[in-house]
Amino acid sequence: MTIGWHFDNTYSKLSNTFKEEIKPTPVHNPAVVILNDNLAKDLNLDFSNISKKDLSEIFSGNKIPKDITTIAQAYAGHQFGHFTMLGDGRAVLLGEHIASNNKRFDVQFKGSGRTSFSRTGDGRAVLGPMLREYIISEAIHTLKIPTTRSLAVVKTGEKVVRENLLPGAILTRVASSHIRVGTFQYIAAKQNLDDLNTLVNYTIDRHYPEIKSSNNKALDLLNLVMERQCKLVVDWMRVGFIHGVMNTDNMAISGETIDYGPCAFMNQYDPKTVFSSIDKFGRYSFSNQPPITKWNLARFAECLIPIINKDEDTAIKLATETIDNFQNIYEEKWLNMMRDKLGLYGNDKNDKKLINDLLNWMQKNKADYTNTFCYLMNIKINDQIYKDEHFVKWYNEWQKRISKNNNSKERSLKLMNNVNPIIIPRNHKVEEALAAANEDNLEVMNKLLSILSKPYEKQVDIQDYQLPLNNKDYQTFCGT
């Protein structure tokens, strides 16, 4: 019974400080809900010769390959600013699968039972939130944003106790690794320099081999992680994605989006938008995502201090200089991203004002973020609002700027088409798909996934997927 796994587990060989050896807790009656055939292909896996029953045994963790050591990883994290020792409380890392080109992917079961890191939790996950992670992570991937992916969701056939009894499920998550800022915080908190060096070297080997023999590996690592995280958060700002729970344990060193809990996409533009029911003070609101990224990177930098320099004052000075550079890097990337969204080539000193004028107008007039850029690309959905005289004035200014492009209108439009999605996972459409899936109807979800698979292409009959519902009508809950 093989689907083509090719495991080469290295994290499990690190010392016990880093992990607990543990197997998934078997479940009673697993059944496949959804498999990601496209991802399987990318991973050189083949499901075609295996029965659904056997696949459900594989993706529930009931049958695991012989000769591999499965683990729960240790990590810590600042959750809403408060430091806590955490770890995989309901996840087990099956191992590192080697795909073509020797690419290495973590394969992890989420919802696979208790571990020594479970604290008071039951180690289990519920079908709705796991399917939600599946849908949104796939959407983020097709939007061309780095992310962990979802290979499968199986129902466990067991009920999970939450506010009600809910169907249990296990998600198979695929990531370039699960090393988090929180992993460094955990090891740093143990104050064992050898372990910290091990983690730094392991991470560099795996994600940043180009700095293997540099003079100050830790400082270079900080810079490279900052670069990737800046790029990531700019991508989120580009498509109106709100992660919702940017705790340091939910920030991957690889620069992939990880941990889809109370995340959601913004409809009408409002920088203060928050969907998460537990985010009372808007710590993780749309416009707070860049400063929080910087805050999290500063926590990462603190972990690296003992390795950056033997002299603590020098190390702090070097790390602080690096973190202080965040603003410049972010601003430049953000400005260029917004220029792309508006089809602007080159730099004009008034670009920032032009961009901010549009954002301010959108906020004031409660314009939909995605559909406004669609309108600028001549894709008109609910276009009444764009007759507003202030918008028309702005539009004319924008046209003047476009004419300074030294490029054809076609190229400008192409630039916009590459970065402005026509379709995003609208919150009410996601809810609709999950409600149907809960009643064993997967058609609604499959249709949604199919439309989301081509977010930058014009598709016929998708109006219903493009119309927003008011932001205020929507609240998300932590993925439990």
Does position 270 interact with Mg ion (CB under 5 A)? The reply is no
Does position 123 interact with ligand AMP (CB under 6 A)? The reply is yes
Q: Who contacts 419 (Cβ-Cβ below 8 Å, separation ≥6)?
A: 238, 337, 340, 341
User: Mapping DSSP to helix (H, G, I), strand (E, B) and coil, where does residue 71 land?
Assistant: strand
Q: Which of 170, 177, 174 is nearest to 41 (CA)?
A: 174
CA-based angle 10:12:13, to the nearest 5?
70
Q: Restricting to residues 14-33, which ones interact with ligand AMP according to CB under 6 A? A: none
State which residue, 133 or 259, has the beta carbon closest to Mg ion.
259
Does position 106 interact with Mg ion (CB under 5 A)? The reply is no
Selection from ligand AMP, Mg ion, none that 129 binds (CB < 5 to 8 A by kind) is none
Say how many residues touch ligand AMP, by CB under 6 A.
18
249: annotated active-site residue: yes
Among 121, 192, 332, 472, binds ligand AMP (CB under 6 A): 121
249, 259, 270, 279: the active-site residue: 249
Q: How far apart are CA 240 and CA 229, in angstroms?
A: 16
Quote the tokens at residue 71: 């683990």
Q: Which stretch binds Mg ion (CB under 5 A): 190-198, 247-255, 318-326, 455-463?
A: 247-255
Does position 88 interact with ligand AMP (CB under 6 A)? The reply is yes
Does position 417 interact with ligand AMP (CB under 6 A)? The reply is no
CB 363 within 8 A of CB 373: no
CB of 291 to Mg ion, least distance (A): 20
Q: Which stretch binds ligand AMP (CB under 6 A): 82-90, 189-197, 350-358, 459-467?
A: 82-90
Q: How far apart are CA 292 and CA 426, in angstroms?
A: 25
Selection from ligand AMP, Mg ion, none that 157 binds (CB < 5 to 8 A by kind) is none
Nearest to ligand AMP by Cβ — which residue?
121
Strands 76-79, 241-242: pairing kind: unpaired
CB of 82 to ligand AMP, least distance (A): 12
Q: Which of 409, 184, 424 is nearest to 305 (CA)?
A: 184
Angstrom CA distances, 204 to 47, 220, 225, 232, 284, stand at: 33, 10, 10, 19, 29
Among 26, 89, 271, 291, binds ligand AMP (CB under 6 A): 89
Q: Which stretch binds ligand AMP (CB under 6 A): 36-44, 280-288, 362-370, 472-480?
A: 472-480
Among 86, 131, 135, 451, binds ligand AMP (CB under 6 A): 86
Among 220, 259, 279, 368, binds Mg ion (CB under 5 A): 259
Does position 183 interact with Mg ion (CB under 5 A)? The reply is no
User: Mapping DSSP to helix (H, G, I), strand (E, B) and coil, where does residue 173 land?
Assistant: strand
CB 137 within 8 A of CB 99: no
CB 334 within 8 A of CB 237: yes
> Position of tokens 């990462």?
300
Does position 250 interact with ligand AMP (CB under 6 A)? The reply is yes
Does position 250 interact with Mg ion (CB under 5 A)? The reply is yes
Among 138, 220, 235, 259, binds ligand AMP (CB under 6 A): 259
CA-based angle 62:64:65, to the nearest 5?
160
Q: How far apart are CA 96 and CA 104, in angstroms?
A: 6
Rule CB under 6 A: which residues touch ligand AMP?
86-90, 117-118, 121-124, 249-250, 259, 261, 478-480
Q: Where in the sequence numbering do the catalytic residues fall? A: 249
Binding residues for Mg ion, rule: CB under 5 A, are 250, 259
